[in-house]
Amino acid sequence: MFYSILAPVMQMKQYRRIRDLREDRDLTQAQVGAAVNLPQRTYAYYESGQRMIPPQVLCALADLYQVSVDYLLERTDRREVNR
């Protein structure tokens, strides 16, 4: 019973916004990976949702694209960072 309740929460999802932001800037996965100190393959796993993105990588991507982490996680449609 416990597993069935959490199953939808535990499923990994594709991180569409990090792919869209990367493509909007005409960057390759290797270029973004290098910018946030990751191998291309690791970044590709994050982008496709095959691995969860660790908080420090989410923060690095948000800084790179100058958007909020909430925007990357699709918790908001507002791109700007509140500082």
Amino acid at 22: R
**What integer is the mean pLDDT of 69-77?**
93
* 11-72 placed in CATH 1.10.260.40: yes
Residue 41 predicted with pLDDT over 50: yes
To the nearest 10 degrees (0 to 180), the angle between helices 40-48 and 16-24 is 120
Domain boundaries, the chain: 11-72
pTM above 0.85, yes or no: no
